[in-house]
Structure 1
Amino acid sequence: MWPIKTPRTEASWLSGRLNALVSVGLVKKTDRGNNSIWSLTQSGQDNFKPYDDFCYGRIALHQITHYESISPEMVLINYTYTIEGLPDWAKNKDIRHAFSELDNWLSGIKHTQYQVTIRTAIGGAPKIQSPPEPLNLDY
């Protein structure tokens, strides 16, 4: 994936995201002829390599706000979350603007509620029945 080559006149969302990564020191930009070459800095390599992507941290349970048994084998849980290990670069305004999904996650820490249904099998491990869904998006 890296390095990435784009036309110097590139003005798409990709260019915006790459420039935001430059602003926090994860990527460097080199112009060559009519192209820009985007490559990882040492800090970028350190942050990218463990996951083959940039990791914003790990989502963790903050608080269970509602728990309801909806059948003998199913429970409905509403919860809020936090993000553990959130790197400083992920809080940068340029990054948050370029990566709106990250901004949504950061804006929802400790107050956006998600709902999940879990099957509670007797003698077995609980299993998520359906993916968590946001209940109140206050972004």
Structure 2
Amino acid sequence: MKRHFLGAATMAMLLSACATGYHSASNPILGLTGGYWDQPGPGRLIKVGFSGNGYITPDKVATYLLFRCAEVAQREGGSHFIFYTSLPDAIDDRRSSERKVNALGGKPATYAYILVVPGEEPDALSAADVISRLEPVVKPAPKQGGAS
């Protein structure tokens, strides 16, 4: 029993020494360092968020949030989504592409509300365009080993 606890504690320490990667916050191991999440918002809105540890930059957290919003839009059957930085902005239909990142205890975190739409609409973001533009940053191809 004690050995399992020490193994888990060692794993947690190793994971916390690295910047947060792109993964679900509900992951039982990786989620300890942060990750993405989403939940139903009021009405047709969806609240999407990303939190990191102290080793990730706010810019990277903002990028991960936008990428996750695009994934959620596609998962929900939409090709585009409207991005709101807050619930009051969504209520007033103040659309944005700006991603604000806050820090709590030196750990950057952010969230947004999105409205998934089936096609182009003024100020709507294309989920496919966002994914194709950000995927090389969010999910880089594995490096090829070997000498040249």
One fold, TM greater than 0.5? Answer: no
Q: TM-score, normalised by structure 2?
A: 0.27
* Structure with more strand by fraction: 1
* Structure with more helix by fraction: 2
Larger Rg: 1
Between the two structures, name the one with larger relative contact order (CA 8 Å, sep ≥ 6): 2
